[in-house]
Every structure is written in structure tokens, then in C-alpha cells.
Amino acid sequence: MPELTGVPVSPGWAAGPAYRLTEPPPLPAPRPVTDPEAELARAAAALRAVADDLMRRSEASSDRAAAEILVAQAMIVRDPVLEDSVAAEVKAGRDAAHAITAVLAAYRAGFESSGGYLAERVADLDDLRDRAVAVCTGVAMPGVPAPGVPFVLFARDLAPADTVGLDLTRVLAVVTEEGGPTSHTAILARSLGLPAVVRCPGIRDVADGTLVRVDGAVGAVSVGVDEQTVAATGAQEQARRSALAAPAGPGRTADGHPVALLANIGSARDLADPGVPVAEGVGLFRTELLYLDRTVAPSLEEQIATYAEVFRVAAGRRVVVRTLDAGADKPLPFLAQGREPNPALGVRGLRLSHRDPSMLDAQLTAIAKAAAGMDADVWVMAPMVATVDEASRFVDRCRAAGLARAGVMVEIPAAALRADALLGVVDFLSIGTNDLSQYTFAADRECGELAALLDPWQPALLDLIGACGAAGAAAGKPVGLCGEAGADPLLAPVLVGLGVTSLSMSARALPAVRAALATRTVAECRTLAAAARAAGDPAAARAAVVNG
């Protein structure tokens, strides 16, 4: 039977008939504007309707990650600058649909040229455009198909509004032709626990109703399977989910070697949600969510209150706080930064403190004050560290603020190559595989054509992780990993074999990773790690572990 291959982003097995998400309605031909005021009202009403719909979907969602993404989309449509730009297009003679399309096309071009975080949002802009045009023209936006039976959803890509509304009793898995490991489709699929494969060419050639089997762990889509395979796959997935639902304890290998399993969070709500499995702590607290989309920096009191709530909820557990990770690719309006020729390689992360030391000092002071009197074990780390000198200066500032545990993120190859020297001045390392991948392979994280280079199974990336793990073992200091790679249960034993001491991920990915580690001894993990590093490419590395 034919087998299609894509990028695996959410583990699990599923089999059933495939049905495609239909394409959005095409933009109609331009029409003359005879009443500019009425056309302005039509455009404004369309933008308002899209924003209101996104907010309703956000409020109805029980998934925190999905809700936050939808709110962010609604904020784009409600931006007064966007509305003013649309009004200018209407006054220039464009009808509402074409005015909105023109303005969002300009936004899209700006996002793409900025790279990094903003480039990851271009598909969201396309979805906003399509929804607004549909309202303007009175055409309903196509939704997820409803064939009346459980099915595998095929799509060119999925917008957050489509993903958040998926009926998980009907949609068995998601396969997209575009996207990447860090796209919203990937993030939300993992959050929902839905098997998913992205960047899978050839799915448009599969007729609706064709039986397919999806392996979200390896990125394989088998086309034209039989009913027996469908039944066997369903039983296999049910057994996997039952195992994940079993009572859980701390992360450890089969022979009892501890591996702390931690959660990536953006706020205290992410830890307080009763539907999220309990983590052993927080391996990545993204503090930039407090800063984004603001015209002034958060006050010291606001920061203290926000951090203290996280420390309160995480009492008795580790909380690793990442200092502000923003910059040209995640612009902060109050910084008034100019355009940079290559924002991904520009002034971001810790480099912001070179321009304005007071902002980092205020954040470190707020973290220290929030931690005072709390039972949480608070660690602090800086993003985008390239040299030992940068790391040493960061540690000094943490100590001056009264923070006892200071580390750095390994996101730049230079940091991985000098991990032993870094550990001479810091207390721990945390590997951010998302950025480390893009800088190692000179491949933008959201450039779909280069998605294969960003595969976390790339042996060169594993070599850099191994260098960090070996340095940590020699220094007797912890080396964690908080990138998306940590959520892959097949890869988790390999990472432990490379010397990683903790794994941090979306909380819903924790049970699968915990179960995977429990089946391997440390010696087996090291053997698998050596086999993966010796492989010639990611596919061979996966095969070595699957067969090992």
C-alpha cells in the first residue's frame, strides 16, 4: 500500500476514512464602491464579527493553549491601526473584501520578513483574511467535514479556530500538507493529545473516504489500508491511552534512575487547571507573556504578583523562570526597537539587557521578592546566551538580586560547544531545541520547505545535546531540555541516554513520556542514544530506536 511521509508532531495511532477540510471561498472579483460610508461600515462589521466569533470560541474552549491563541487572533482583528488601514483602502476605492485582503497582505509580508515568532503567524493572518472576506460576501466559511463516522482530517493547514472546535469523538488524527513542528497545528494537536503529522506531501491526491492509518510518532501515513488494520490500530491506540491514564509517579527509568518531568507554562492558570496532569514542577515559565502586546512595561508590583501566584501554586516543586525572551522577532512596543535586517539573529533575549540593564534588573528583583517566603524551589535562566562572559554577568546579577540558582538556555551552537565552560559559572543548563535546531541548520523554524532540517532526530542536533549532557555529568550539574523535542515519547529515552536530567513539555505530553521512560534502563537509553547519533539521517535514527 502507498505510504506518505511527513513530520511527526504528536504521537499516537489512528486509522479510518480520510476526509479533507475544504478550501476557503475564493476572493470575488472587485466591484465598484458607490457608497464609501456603507462600505466602511461593511468592512468594520466584518472585522468585528470575526473578532467576536474568535472570542466566543476562546471562551467555550476548555484548552488553555487554544484559548490564548484565539484571543491573540482576535486582538489582531480588533487593532485600531488595522481598521484605520482598511478604511484608507476603502476611501481609495476598494470594496470591503479587497480592502481587508490588501491590508492583511501587507501585514503578512511584514511578518514574513521579520522571521521567527512573527513568521510563525502568517497562516493565522490568512485565516483572518478568509473569515473576514466570507463575512463581507455573505458566504459561510467551510468548516471541518461531518461525514457521520470517526475520520482522519486531511487539510492544507489548520487555523487555530478550526483546531479548537474539533470534536475529539469524531476526529481521530490530523494530517496537514503544510506547517512545521512549532506551528499552531502542531502545538494544539499535542495539547489535545491528537495524533498528528504535518508537512506531508501527497495528501491532496487521496480521495475522501479512503481508509488510512496514521502513526504520529514517526510521521507515516499508510493509504488504502483494510478494515482489519483499522480495527487493530484502534485497539492499539486504546491500549496506549489506557496505559497513560494509569496512576503516575515521578519520572524514572525502568531501573529507577530519576528523570524530572516538568511542565512548560505561561501563567499560574496552566498549573491550576484540574484537567492537566500533575507535573513534578515547571521547567519553563515563559515570563514574556506578561510583556507582549503592551505599550508600557509591567510594573514591579504587577510582576511580583504574577510570579508569586505561580510560586504559590507550585509549592514544594521546582520552578525554572526564563527571563524575558523577546526582541525584534517578538517586538515589545514600549522598547521602540528599530527594524533589523535579520531579527532572528538580532537583539533578543538576554541581549536586550545590553541596551537596557534596568529592565532585567527589575525582573530579577521581582522574581526574588515573589519567591521570598514561598515554598517553591525557584531557579532562573537567561535565553539567547552565546558566551561564557554573558553567562557570568547574568549569574552575578542574579546573585545581586538574591537568587540562589542561576542558569542559561542552550539555544545557540556556540553555547553547546562550550557547555563545559558555561557550567563553570552557572548552576544548570536548559536546552531549547526549537531555537537550537534553527540556528544549527540555518533554517527558519516556520519555513515549511526546510521542516525536515528542523527534525529533532537530526543526528547533528543530538550531538550538540550529547555535548551538553556530557559536560553536565562531568560538572555534576543538571542539564534539562525544554524544547518541543522533550514531548516525543520515542525520543525521550534517547535524550536521557545523552545525559539530559530533566524534560519539560506541554503538561498533557507528560504521561506518554513518563510511560516511555519506564520501559528502558539507563544502559538501554545510552545504547539507543549512541545508535541514533550514529545514524545518517532522522529517519534512520528513528528506525534505530524503534528496532532497538
499-539, pLDDT tens digit by residue? 999 999 888 788 889 989 999 999 999 999 999 999 999 98
**CA–CA separation, 496 and 525 (whole Å):** 6
Q: 445 falls in which pLDDT band (50, 70, 90)?
A: confident
Q: pLDDT digits over 254-274, tens only?
A: 999 999 999 998 888 888 765
pTM, 2 dp: 0.72
Q: pLDDT digits over 313-333, tens only?
A: 999 999 999 999 876 456 666
260-546 placed in CATH 3.40.50.300: no
Q: Is the separation of the CB atoms in 83 and 39 below 8 Å?
A: no
Average pLDDT estimate for 477-489:
92
**CA–CA separation, 472 and 465 (whole Å):** 11
Q: Which of 200, 398, 468, 482 is catalytic?
A: 482
Is 482 assigned a catalytic role? yes
**Which residues belong to CATH 1.10.274.10 in the chain?**
36-137
Q: 493 falls in which pLDDT band (50, 70, 90)?
A: very high
Is 136 assigned a catalytic role? no
Q: Which of 98, 136, 184, 200 is catalytic?
A: 184
SS (H, E, C) 495-542: HHHCCCCEEEECHHHHHHHHHHHCCCCHHHHHHHHHHHHHCCCHHHHH
**Which residues belong to CATH 3.50.30.10 in the chain?**
3-23+143-233
Q: Which CATH number fits domain 36-137: 3.40.50.850, 2.40.50.180, 3.40.50.1100, 1.10.274.10?
A: 1.10.274.10
Q: Is the separation of the CB atoms in 56 and 163 below 8 Å?
A: no
3-23+143-233 placed in CATH 3.40.50.720: no
Strand, helix or coil for residue 381: strand
User: Given a cut of 70, is residue 387 above it in pLDDT?
Assistant: yes
**CA–CA separation, 473 and 464 (whole Å):** 14
Residue 110's alpha-carbon distances to 115, 174, 306, 443, in angstroms, are 9, 29, 32, 19
**Which residues belong to CATH 3.20.20.60 in the chain?**
260-546
Strand, helix or coil for residue 379: strand
Q: pLDDT digits over 193-204, tens only?
A: 899 999 899 998
